[in-house]
Amino acid sequence: MRGSEDFGHYLKQIPGALFLLVNGEEYPPIHAEQFDFPDDEIETAVEIFMAVLKGADIPVGEEKSL
């Protein structure tokens, strides 16, 4: 599992966080020819993002100034 080493450059400019949503070791890597995005993982990602927004007390659909 590898994250983006470029993401650190963004964090130098603005506060942020990075999380990875993975499908397990038996699933082909994202850049493999056999990779097929598992659509059912979208729901998991949305749940994570919603929990982060609620925990940060940021109303959904509104912008927050940095």
Using CA atoms, how far apart are residues 47 and 50, in angstroms rounded to an integer? 5
Using CA atoms, how far apart are residues 57 and 29, in angstroms rounded to an integer? 34
Provide the pLDDT for residue 1: 47
Which single residue is written with the structure tokens 């927004």?
53
If one compares 47 and 60, the residue with the highest pLDDT of the two is 47
Residues 7 and 18 sit within 8 Å (Cβ to Cβ): yes
Task: Indicate the pTM of the whole model.
Answer: 0.54
Using CA atoms, how far apart are residues 33 and 27, in angstroms rounded to an integer? 12
Q: Note the pLDDT tens digit of each residue in 5-52.
A: 688 888 888 888 787 777 777 888 878 899 888 888 889 888 888 888
At 60, the pLDDT band (50, 70, 90 cuts) reads low
